[in-house]
Every structure is written in C-alpha cells, then in structure tokens.
Chains A and B, each alone.
Chain A
Amino acid sequence: MSLKQKLISIVGEQYVSDGLAEKYVYSFDMTENPPKRPAMVVMPESVQQLQQIVRIANKDRVPLVPFVTGQNIGGLTIPQVDDAVTVDLKRMNKIVEVDDEAMYAVVEPGVTFGHLRKYLDEHNPSLTYTYPLAPPYTSVLANALLQGLCDLSTMRGAMGDFINGLEAILPTGEIVRAGSAIMGDGNWFGRYPLPDLVGLFSGWQGMSGFVTKIAVQLWPKKQFTRHAALFTFGEVPTTELLKRIARAQLIDDADCMSLSIVKMLLGVSPPVQVYGGEPDYGTLLTLSGNIEKEADAKYELIETFVEDARKNESRQLLVDWDAISRMLGDQAKSWVDFPSDAFKVLTEYDGLTWVGTYIHPKHWGEALSGGRKIVEKYGFELMAYLKPMNSMHFGEFKFIIRFPKDDATVEKVRHCNEELLDFALSLKALPYKTPVWAAKKLQQNADPGFVELLKRIRKTLDPNGIMNPGRWGL
C-alpha cells in the first residue's frame, strides 16, 4: 500500500491531498524563508487518527511537519527535507475543558484565539485568556508552545509560562502527559512539583512530537480596565520609562511601537515616514483594577513616573484613552479589544517578517537604537515593536518588515534580518520563533553543551528523526 493509501485509510480520501495546489500552498509562509513543498498534506480529526499517522511515519521513516495556520513568522511550517508530509491539525479543534475554579482551559491544536475568546465570553465570562497582536485565527496551542507574547505578557511573561500541562504523541507513537493531569482528567492545575517535562515540547517547534492537548492558564477579568497612550522620544529614555512602569507592576500590558505603526493604524498609506519633531514611539498601556480606585491609583502613579521622565525629556507625553477615543471613535475601542484588529496594518503586502528577540533589560535601549540604524540603512519603514516582559524581568523587541515578495525585496529583507540578528546576538538576545537560519547563528554563539543536549534529547525521543526534521538546523 502506498503512503497515500495508508493515510487515506486513516482519515478518509477527502483529507489527504498530494495535489499541486495543496503542495504549493503549504510550501511557504509570509516570511522570506525559502519555500519547500511537502509531498502530501493530511488532516486528522482526532488523537487516535494522529497517533496512527505517527506510527506509520515512524515505521516508514516519513518526515512529518505539524501545521495549524502557519502564521508563526518564522518559516516554521515550511518542510526542510524532501518527501515530508504536512499534518494540518485544524480539524482537531475541541475546547476540551474550562475549569472555572482552577482557571485553566484545555484545548486541542486547532483552537484559535478567536474561538477561545468566543467560548469564554459565552461560558466563562468572568475569565479571560491572553491574546497576541495577531490575526484572531492562529493556534492557541502553537502560540503557547512557541513561547509567544500576548496582552498579559508585561505582567506575566511569555506564553510558555502559561502552560499548565500537555498531552502529546511521541514520535514513536506513544501518548504521554506532562503536568498535574498525569493524575487524570479534570486536574490540569499546574506543572509543579514534578520534573518539568513540558520543556520537552515547549520551544521545540514540533521536533519532539505532536502536542494534542494543552492546558493554559486563564485569568479573572478585572472589573475596571483603563488604557492610555504614551508618546516618547529617544530609545533609551523610552525603554527606561517603560522599565520603571513595568517594574512597579502597574500595567497588565504595554505595546510600544514606532510612531510609523501608529500612523499606519491611523490610515497613512505606505511607505510611512516619520518626521523630525514627531515622537519616536507610541505605547498602548493597559492597566486594571478590581475597583475603579485601584485602576485610577495605578494611572496616577504612571502620571508621576512620566512627570519624572519629563525632567530629562520634556516632550514625553501621557494621554488618557478617553481623549484618544474622542478623536478616533470606534476605531480606538477596536484596537484595545483583543483579539484586536490592529494587526491589519501588517497585512499590507504578501510578505511579513521580523527578527524578534527576548533580551536582558540592560541591553534593551541599545538594542532598539542599534536595530533602528540597521533598518534605516536598508530603507524599510521603521516598525519597531517592544514589550516589557514578566514585570520587567526581560524585554522583547522586534523590527517588523512588511514587504512585497518580489525577488529583489526578499533578498534585501534577508540581508537586513541577518544584520539585525547579528546585532541582537552580540547583545546576547535570544531570537524567538526561530527560523532555521537564525537558529544556526544562535548555535554558533551559544553554549555548545546546550546544543549537544538538544541533539541528544531529540535522538532519544525521535530515533528515526521524523518530527519536523531540519528545524533549528538539527
């Protein structure tokens, strides 16, 4: 029996394709990472079907590439080897359980942020998850495994920290669990005290198995939420002010972006320029309280921090969201209602990329000003985006490039991103959602023992090397 026939016998004819359209459409993503076509695409509906696929692949040594929506901005679902089978998991889309008391949701890979939001609004309105500044239909599970950043990350850190546990199919076909649900269903409250085996899957880009269920932490919705816009000048003054605000744990989240992104949100057509005298950055601050006074008190404290900052840079400005709303009406509301529609400024062209990194706070400002010079040298629109993470234990920054994917521009983007990454690595920053080319550069700079350990774990878990081979250059 051919591989295709075997797969058809598991999922049915309708959900296996080796047609040119499917091979092509699954061969690329929006980034500059080089495309490569899978041999086939298969769409299982259940854990059992997926387990059978993995068993066959392990026996026949067929490379498998997990895919949910392919919007990771890292080329992470592009096959790296010949004859790979892309496993599109969007049909596995059940919200398995929401526990109101222990505040977690257990979801399958195909559940998107939009669908989780809808579910919570309908069934558990006192709880919220956290949402990225991404299109609403990307995978909650993949985002958590990729250790992304969402609208509670300034307070609570990267999405990997939100994982309470998971269920996975190992490359050899066994189904395993990590976290407190090893004790049974309805018990996904956390990862400790145990050997933390979530780490065998978190950050692995599908190289260690298929995660079939993930438990993620939910949070009580605060009664009062306020927003404000902060307009700032200078990279170091901006990051210093954000650090102070984040360390004081006054805000749930901060989305700091180059002013050009703010202008894009206001509808300015590309290429968007920034002019002398305009602020360099606009930051959306979100803060909340159980009572109005709590939110107001936090806001007042932020005002004093901004006042202090004005002693060195008198143009730093805090604007209450009411003023913004009066100017912009519904649009202002729409930006702050996550999953927000603000990502639309990133859909200008078929190409979208960034080098995104997590970095030590001490290097944050320097990283921003150095990166800015690189982007300006290449003549791309200046689209820096940064977020204080986990109450300022670390910072995030990236330079977004939206670009038409013609050959010449793609080449230019590659060079720019390489330069940005080299610079970030020189500051010991770590790239996230790491494309293969970036992982290779990281490995050249990283402790060799770490790389060796990665290889060894991978070999142990996946002796036949079937899971997303080539990722991370492994």
Chain B
Amino acid sequence: MSPYESVIADWLHRCNRCGTCKYIFRDYGPSCPSGEQYRFESYFASGRISIARALTTGEIDWQESLLKPTFACTECGACQIQCMAPHREHIVEMIEELRSLVVDKLGPLPPHRAIAESISRKHNPYEATHHNREIVQQLNLPDKADTVLFLGCTSNYKETSVRDATLSVLKKAGINFTVVDEYCCGSPLLRTGQRAFARQAAEHNLEAFEKAGAERVITSCAGCYRTLSKDYKKLGFDLDIDLLHSVQLVNELLTEKKLKVTQQGSIGRVTYHDPCHLGRHMGVYEEPRQMLGVLPVEFVEMHPNEKNAWCCGAGGGVKSSFPELAQATAAIRLGHARAVNADILVSACPFCKRNLSDANQGQVAKVLDIVELVDLAT
C-alpha cells in the first residue's frame, strides 16, 4: 500500500485560480518560473492543480500532452508562499502526487526514466561509478562516528569542489565524522513521480547511518537535506537522528570560533541565493546570512530573496527534461545578482551551483557554494 495519503483528494475543491501565486504579493515581481516561461494558465500552480483535479474526477483522460505542464515545474514552492488559500502548504505535494499518477499511467519522461535506471544500477543519477568508500580510505575516515557526512550525488560526482570543501571544513573544525556507503537519497525520484524506487534508497541509507552509529547526519546538498528530513518521514521511516544542512553546523562552528577566519582582506562582493529546498522547503534563511556576516566578504542581498527568492531553475527534474526552462530561470537569477553588482553568487546547494554556473554568461565573475567560501576563508 502506498504510504501516501492523497493530498489531491484532500484539497480537491480548493484552488479557484485567483492567480495570487503568480507574483510576489505587494512586490508584484514574478514568482513562478514555469508560468513566467510558458505563460499559459496551465503552467502556473493553479493549472497543475486543475489538471490534478480533472484527472481525479475523470473530467479529462490521460494524454501525452499533459506531460509538459505536469513536469515543467521546478517544484520551487514559490506558489505556496504567495497563495492565501487553505491548501497553500500542500501545492508542491499535490504536484508531486499528480506526477506520480501520470507516471503510473503514462510512464516517466525519458530523461527521468534514465535517471531512475542510473540510480537503480549505480546508486546515483549521473551514471557515475559508485565510489563513496574511496573517500573513506583517502581521508582515513573511521568506520563509525557520531557524525555522518551525507555527500549527495551532485557534490560527489559533479560539483566535487563542494564535496571537497565540506570535507576540508569539517576536518579543519576537528569534527569526528565519517562517510557511509550512501545511495542517492531518492530526491530525483520523488520529485519526478517515481516514488516506488525511493523507498529502497531510503531503507539503504538509514541502515548505513545506523551501522555507522550516526547520531547526526550533515549534508551540503539542499535537496538531500529536504529529502532526508521531510520525505523519509513521509515514507514512513522514523528517524532518530539529527539532520543538519552544513550551513547550520558551519555557522555554529564559526560562531563558536571552532572554525577561525584566517583570510585577510575581502574575497569580494557576494550575494546569496536561497536554494528552494533549503529556504522555502525547510525554512533555513538565517544561518547562511550569519555566516556571510562573519566571512571576509562584502555581503549584499539581491532581490527577491529569502521566502520570495527566485528559483535557480534546476529542481523538480527540470534540468534534465526542460533545459530551456532551467536556463531561462537561472539567467533571471543571475540578472538579480548582477543588478546588485555582485562578483560572487553563492548558494548552499551543489545543484543550484551547477545550474547557475551553466547559465552564467558573465553576469557574475564566479558562482560558488557557501562552503567553498568558508573553506577559502578559514
């Protein structure tokens, strides 16, 4: 039996297409990357909710043409912040349920299927050779430790500088940690409607945490952080472990001076991009800003930020399936950074870093992860 209640059924008669989710309330800037790109009503949250409702009630049948409006959404959750209706906290859940229904009937989008196949064969979405254990040997990490660093596939296989910076910072702070034989957390599966496989990934990872004697798990990936914290619970797993994003730990280390800033002189003018999975999905806004207050940088906020931040464009399976949406959304975000004359755009998620770097055409000099900045400065 599915561990999921039907959120679509719970909120079947709610959204009345008032359009409030299209823009930031009282700021009037756009909030929905998907709607902004494709413009039809079907590409805003209300369109997806309508499709979900109509499929549930049988008003429409399953057709291939539903795939694009269903999947061309980054699941950034900006709509949830703007909506004032009773179902507002459940919009992304509704979109995810819609996706899983569509996958059941029509199958996943080909790039999403390829991701699932890669995860099933190689335990990561990138067709990369699974190799966490090598890091354990290279860094001489213990088999067991209170703290487990969950690397996350993007930082381990693509944005390896984020992985290396996190490892380095933890070492500098003298944290006793290890890395387990982790599998992809399952986020790319859950976000793309392929829920069935995500359970296996969760089971494996939780067993690995237990074997390592972990009392807390840290990750530098906003997507993994959300998945481990929120989705595993929804899958029915009872986690008796503290879960932290690295910004939460590193901020504490900086505040307690367990990590000391050694860099002399400013690294540059820096602005911060709130990753959707860290900010809107998990409510972490303060720690990265406190860190930037301590680091030798000239910190400037770009607009919009925090709960209203514009998405980087990568999430929800969009980067693989709708590159034009991923690129256009990132270009807008880079424009926000440029508007405040930032040299460096930092985020706290390797997937944001990746997409923003891919789209960067000189709007900023560098796109970095905040952990990289900490590593540079300490």
Contacts and interface: CB of A to CB of B under 8 A. Distances in A.
B18 A343 contact: yes
Nearest to B48: A21
B41 A29 contact: no
Given A24-B42, A114-B23, 16 more contacts: A15-B39, A19-B63, A19-B68, A21-B47, A21-B51, A21-B70, A22-B40, A22-B41, A25-B40, A136-B23, A137-B19, A337-B26, A347-B15, A347-B16, A347-B18, A406-B13
A348 interface: yes
A24 B42 CA distance: 9
A30 interface: yes
A217 to B, nearest CB: 21
A115 B28 contact: yes
B40 A117 contact: no
Contacts of A344: 20, 84-85
22 contacts: A17-B42, A19-B65, A19-B68, A21-B47, A21-B65, A22-B40, A22-B41, A24-B50, A25-B41, A25-B42, A70-B17, A71-B17, A117-B28, A137-B23, A341-B84, A343-B18, A344-B84, A347-B20, A347-B85, A349-B13, A350-B12, A406-B13
A71 B19 contact: yes
Contacts of B27: 118
Interface in A55-96: 69-71, 88, 90-91
B28 A118 contact: yes
A86 to B, nearest CB: 10
A405 B13 contact: yes
Interface in A6-35: 14-15, 17, 19-22, 24-26, 29-30
Contact of A20 (B20, B63, B83): B63
Contacts of B83: 347
A24 B54 contact: yes
Q: Which 8 A-B pairs have CB atoms at the shortest separation, nearest pair first? A: A404-B13, A19-B65, A344-B84, A347-B85, A30-B16, A21-B42, A114-B28, A118-B28
Contacts of A91: 39
Contact of A19 (B20, B50, B69, B85): B69
A352 interface: yes
B20 A135 contact: yes
Contacts of A349: 13-14, 16
Contacts of B50: 24-25
A347 B22 CA distance: 15
Contacts of B65: 19-21
Contacts of B365: none
A382 B63 CA distance: 42
Interface in A326-366: 337, 341, 343-344, 346-352
Contacts of B69: 19, 21-22
B175 interface: no
B322 interface: no
B66 interface: yes
Contact of A25 (B16, B18, B47, B84): B47
Sort chain B's interface into a size bin: 35 or more
A351 B16 contact: yes
B59 interface: yes
Interface of A: 14-15, 17, 19-22, 24-26, 29-30, 41, 43, 69-71, 88, 90-91, 112, 114-115, 117-118, 135-138, 337, 341, 343-344, 346-352, 404-406
A88 B16 contact: no
B86 interface: yes
A71 B46 CA distance: 13
Interface string B291-315: 0000000000000000000000000
A230 to B, nearest CB: 26
B39 A43 contact: yes
Nearest to B324: A14
Contacts of B68: 19, 21
A163 B339 CA distance: 37
Contacts of A25: 40-42, 47, 50-51
A88 B19 contact: no
A352 B27 CA distance: 26
B13 A350 contact: yes
Contacts of A406: 13
Contacts of A118: 27-28
Contacts of A24: 42, 50-51, 54, 59-60
A349 B53 CA distance: 13
B25 interface: yes
A161 B66 CA distance: 43
Most buried by B among A344, A346, A350: A350
Contact of A88 (B17, B39, B66, B86): B39
A252 B233 CA distance: 54
Interface string B21-44: 011011110000000001111100
Contacts of A17: 40, 42
